[in-house]
Amino acid sequence: MIRIPFAQLEQAFRKVLLQLNFPEKRAALCAHIFASNSRDGVHSHGLNRFPVFVQYVKEGLVHPDAEPTLLEKNGLLETWTGNLGAGMYNATACMQRAIELAQANGIGCVAIQNTNHWMRGGTYGWQAANAGCIGICFTNAIAGMPAWGGVDPVLGNNPLVIAVPRAEGHIVLDMAMSQFSYGKMQEHELKQEQLPVVGGYDDNGELTTDPVVIRNNKRALPIGFWKGSGLAMVLDVLLVALSGGRSTGQITADKKEFGVSQCFIALHKPDLHAALIEEILTYTKGSTPATRGGRIAYPGENTLRKRLQSEKEGVLVNEEIWAQVQAM
């Protein structure tokens, strides 16, 4: 791993996207999101994911110039189609629309079908929080874990994001329904490391910490066992009910993850009772760490810490993948 300036990383992404016929502003937006994900320590959806994104564009699964379009409006709930455009671009537009609805009415909800991978879901939680809104968003994904009691992978990890604005640093929960996202498992595989706790099953049905085995057999462990399994399925149900888009089963049938469904909710309330929020954080962070020198962090706190470090020291990247992107 090496460190490089944020601007250099962003510029490298932008250069490649322009070569792939992305419009100037869209290339800049997508490049910024990829670079920001790496800056914040989410390597799995920053530099590490970029070559896959480029390949999907070349295969025609991501359309560089596609614009999301409105399909249906029901009060403060809108349904859009992404027209297989870049997932980061579509997601940013949908969350912005939800924010506009919320700022005018208190709440806004935008569901989108036929879009693509949004990379780090937390990006859109931060977007809502920066606009002074509570943000909630979720997506479905290609199957990567079995339903509880089953063997075959039939559920997506279906990430869920909840963000709450806060002057001292937003609270942003960004989590997959699997114990480890596949991107996080890739990080451990690249470092030739085992997972810190069990993350799935091996081919014999035994729990394992080997990311290579889990990434190959697609038998990731749901968070909370049966609870994560149930939540993953219900999020998929909500997404197709709201968007009319493709389910995890339909996405999986194509063998590659594209044409997914997503939902973006924003809530705007001038007074979010900041003092009560601080009371919760103080109470929680005041608990005794389980290990000497350990610390309790609220969701999003470690992201801010890594962001500040990256801005000071440079963005940490995988040297091999960085060389690959520079050669594109």
Enzyme catalytic residues: 45
The rounded distance, in Å, linking the Cα atoms of 275 and 264 is 27
Assess contact for 195 and 185: CB atoms under 8 A.
yes
The rounded distance, in Å, linking the Cα atoms of 53 and 49 is 6
3-class SS at 78? strand
* Kind and range of the H or E run holding 251: helix 248-253
Computed from CA positions of residues 273, 277, 278, 282, in that sequence, does the dihedral angle turn out positive or negative? positive
Nearest to 128 by CA among 102, 151, 147: 102
Computed from CA positions of residues 285, 290, 292, 298, in that sequence, does the dihedral angle turn out positive or negative? negative
Nearest to 108 by CA among 265, 324, 286: 265
